[in-house]
Amino acid sequence: MNRNTLFVLLLGLLPLATAWGQPAPFVPARDPQVVAFSPSGALVATGVSGLSDGQFPPRPHPDVRKCGAVFLWDAATGKRIKRMETYGDLTQLQFSPDGQLLAAARLFATHDGLQLNEVRIWNVASGQLVRGLDRCHAFSFSADGTEIAVASRKKCAVFDVATWEREVVFEPLGGAVSIAFTKDALFGIVKTDKGFVLRKCDKQSRQLVRESQRIPQAFYRLVISPSQDVLATGHQGQVILWNLTTLEPLAQLPTKEPGIAHPFFSPDKMLLAAGCQTNGDTIIWDLASRQEIRRFTLEKGKFRPFIARAEDETLRPESDPQRFVFAPDSKGYLTGAYGGILRQVSDGRDIARYGE
């Protein structure tokens, strides 16, 4: 074989080497931005953000390396079961309480600034899209799973998941950054003229019953404890615990980490954890004593949003995507770092990995 023939052959193989051995150009590492466990613990869901096809109306990018997707995995074997395509920045992923539905929230804006945020709901068994709720950026299933609340830039509405008819609107939670149901109330983080506040609305009357003190700095995530007696919010370098009835602050738990803390409770009601969005490190506290009992470091846990938002944007939940969650048995926690790994709470040992 002469030199010219060899050169032509190598040029022909170059595209294959690029496709097989390197990530797609201009596409961040494919770590999940959002993760979730099914209530039974049998399934794991992960979501990676991705590009649209650049047309209008937008669709998922035709290149699988650039396309966003939500995956379903067998928790025990790590085998991929389903793949649902999407696009934009994924910020939230959650199974319904009965495990039959899977919902995801995404942020997306066209080049001219048109907001096309959406909450998508799939049937877990079939992987088919059940409903898309346009212009919505946050959601919460009701405790009994019969309803889903969604927040848009101006409204907060509740839909019946059987008929998908809009039932009611919670006016005080219009434009909420994050929302969460309890049995008898709906909570939200709302931006006001003087800062951000927590608001509590009665589920039946839909009226505002409590509002917290104002916090100047934006915060994006609120979570309710399984015992439904305390609420946690994540902030820069700390978690704040609140009384669920009065919305009075109970405690401030420093993370000693640089990034926004993403709080999450263990299902057994014993632990509170916070994942650092900057480096993926995880801190675990005993919920009763509020004492730190574990701290795990991730060498490759750094997170960056798929699409950078301006600093003055109100909707910046991509700074706090839902990429940390406890397993249903509370013995492990799932994080989006390293492609999606389940780590043991007792010693931080890797138990399983879910990823391509």
Tens of pLDDT, residue by residue over 141-187, are 999 999 999 999 999 999 999 999 998 999 999 999 999 999 999 99
Asked if 234 and 218 touch (Cβ cutoff 8 Å), the reply is: no
How high is the pLDDT of residue 29? 55
Residue 211 carries which side chain, given as an amino acid letter?
A: E
Residue 4 has φ and ψ, to the nearest 5°, of -65, -40
**Measuring CA to CA, how many Å separate 23 from each of 32, 53, 160, 302?**
15, 18, 41, 17
Ranges 15-24, 63-72, 264-273: which has the least confidence: 15-24
Would you say residue 262 has pLDDT above 50? yes
Q: What share of the chain is helix, strand, coil (3-state, %, to 5)?
A: 10, 45, 45
Say which amino acid occupies 43. Answer: L
Least confident of 39-43, 56-60, 204-208, 329-333: 56-60
Please determine, for residue 259, whether its predicted confidence score (pLDDT) is greater than 90. no
The string of DSSP codes covering 238-298 is EEEEEETTT--EEEEEE--SSSBEEEEE-TTSSEEEEEETTT--EEEEETTTTEEEEEE--
**pLDDT average, residue stretch 339-349:** 93
- The CATH classification number of 26-353 equals 2.130.10.10
Comparing 94-98, 133-137, 277-281, the range with the smallest average pLDDT is: 277-281
Residue 299: which pLDDT band, with cuts at 50, 70 and 90? confident
Q: What is the pLDDT of residue 12?
A: 37
